[in-house]
Amino acid sequence: MAKGMREIKRQIKSVQSTKQITKAMEMVAAAKLRKAQEKAEAARPYSEKLKEVVASIASSTQGIQHPMLESRPVKKTAYLIITSDRGLAGGYNANVLRQVNLTLKERHNSQDDYELFVIGRKGRDYFRRREIAMASVTTDLSDSPSFADIKSIAHEAVHGFELAKFDELYICYNRFVNALTQIPTVERLLPMETPEVTAAEGPTASYEYEPSAEAVLEVLLPRYAETLIYGALLNGKASELGAKMTAMGNATKNASKLINDLSLTYNRARQAAITQEITEIVAGANAAQG
């Protein structure tokens, strides 16, 4: 019995240590989540201004032509997949990779029909285990990534579409709703739909372009597509941190419940041991008197 009680006490200490770790990780993820949301909000005005300028050019220029706006027969499709480098994030990676896997099975009969651009070790390892080739991989991103961190893979994906290496580009990520909800999303990025000019109250800006509207659009469209990829990355990073915060919060609650259960078991065992000792003492005293 004493050996069993020592084992239970050891288990309680072990779970208490784990609980301290998960609680600390939950608090760190919560702090980083706030920063990630702020960064995503800060990047939005730049994306919206680019969209406004592109829409202005598209609406003011007749017969505008650009490879990124033109649909063509789909022979090959590319997917840019955003995952994390580390785990302990609940179903964050599993959900988006499951959605990508279903999409690939539904749309394609062969690996020759698609090309993968992967961000994050979890995605890289997932496709490597299944012996699925990847065109480009980016890993070791910080929890507060800059555009420069993913510029190479974003440019490669966008430029590949411009060169007609593939005919569609989809971006796959977890769309952030709140800390409890992240929605696996697969949405088409290229070819782009021409952004519409939204009606604005008050005076509107009038742009003059040098050397021409077409030349400006030639530069802006790839930059706009890369900016959308960066926005999806920031959204995915917020989703990752939200999932980590939720997962660590659940782990902390489970640890507390387990500690309570073990403490109850320990107290019952201790009570049984004390009762047994008292019984043995009383029995010994009675024997001595007899």
pLDDT of the residue at 287:
72
pLDDT for 206 equals: 65
User: What is the pLDDT of the chain when averaged over all its residues?
Assistant: 86
Q: What is the pLDDT of residues 225-252, one digit of tens each?
A: 898 899 999 999 999 999 999 999 999 9
Verify cis geometry, omega within 30 degrees of 0, for the bond prior to 195: no
pLDDT of res. 252: 94
Q: What is the pLDDT of residue 268?
A: 87
User: Exposed/middle/buried for 276, CB within 10 Å: 0-12, 13-18, 19+?
Assistant: exposed
The DSSP line for 219-230 is HHHHHHHHHHHH
Domains in the chain, start-ordered, CATH in brackets? 32-194+208-246 (3.40.1380.10)
Q: Using 50, 70 and 90 to split pLDDT, how confident is the model at 204?
A: low
CA atoms within 13 A on the CB side of 45: 3
Q: Which pLDDT band, with edges at 50, 70 and 90, does 64 fall under?
A: low
pLDDT greater at residue 69 or residue 115:
115
Residue 200 has pLDDT above 70, yes or no: no
The string of pLDDT tens digits covering residues 15-27 is 999 999 999 999 9
Residue range 102-115: mean pLDDT, rounded: 92
- Of the candidates 17, 173, 183, the one whose C-alpha atom is nearest the C-alpha of residue 80 is 173
pLDDT higher than threshold 60 for residue 271:
yes
| CA distance readout (Å), 201 to 33, 198, 204, 205, 222 | 34, 10, 8, 12, 29
Tell me what the mean pLDDT of segment 257-285 comes to: 84
pTM: 0.83
**Residue 1 pLDDT exceeds 60:** no
pLDDT value of residue 270: 83
Burial 25-34 (b: 16+ CB within 10 A, else e): bbeebbebbe
- Tell me which of 95 and 271 has the higher pLDDT: 95
Q: Which of 60-74, 106-120, 201-215 has the lowest mean pLDDT?
A: 201-215
For 138-196, what is each residue's pLDDT tens digit? Answer: 999 988 898 899 999 999 999 999 888 999 999 999 998 888 889 999 999 888 876 55
pLDDT at 116 over 80: yes
Please report the pLDDT score of residue 213 as a whole number.
72
